[in-house]
Amino acid sequence: MSDFVYIPPTTPLSVIYADDQIVVADKPSGLLSVPGRGEDRSDCLINRLRQVYPDILLVHRLDLDTSGVMIFGRTKPAQAFLGQQFEQRLTKKIYLARVWGEVLEDSGRVDLPLIVDWPNRPRQHVNFETGKPSVTDWRVLKRGGGETRMKLTPLTGRSHQLRVHMLEIGHVILGDPLYASGAAVDFPRLMLHADSLKIRHPESGVAMNFAAPCPF
């Protein structure tokens, strides 16, 4: 990744919802969630949002190449409340993906422990000795043309979890610069989108579901 050049998209800021406790935004593919190392990687979603909401606080992240729903806190208690929901797996996250090949089964579960592949970081890999539990439920939405559209529901929140799990079942996510190879790489972006996120509001405790339209 040393030859990676960061060219953030000029997509206008898309705020799905905001109140005095939380901000929910639609992150475009190609934009960092938080600043990277170096001045050339300072443009990111949280910094763009900070220009409108100076009190914004990070709760979770999406990969650079993944688009979709991200939630932020606006107070320390709200940030902590949301963070606990992620840690305790009380949120419900649904992703949409286009994967290589036509998946035969209609649904399934991938239960493979993951950990960083140190010599090849930021890549992750399956490791049954030191990997952390990682579980993904999947369902086929559409097949055709040598690819499959999938609904992915991660039950854990490991780094690159969906990307590695799809690779491991033989259906890598299209356009994945880290895990795909051959013709599966030749797409304009990573075909992975955080479609919806269900949380409980930090102040009211009411369940809220936020969604972002899928761009592919």
Pair 195, 69: CB distance under 8 Å:
yes
Q: What is the DSSP letter of 54?
A: T
Pair 6, 40: CB distance under 8 Å:
yes
Pair 173, 99: CB distance under 8 Å:
yes
- Residue 17 neighbours by CB distance under 10 Å: 12
For CA atoms 179, 183, 189, 192, the dihedral sign is negative
Any idea which residues carry the catalytic annotation?
Answer: 63
94 burial class (0-12, 13-18, 19+ CB within 10 angstroms)? buried
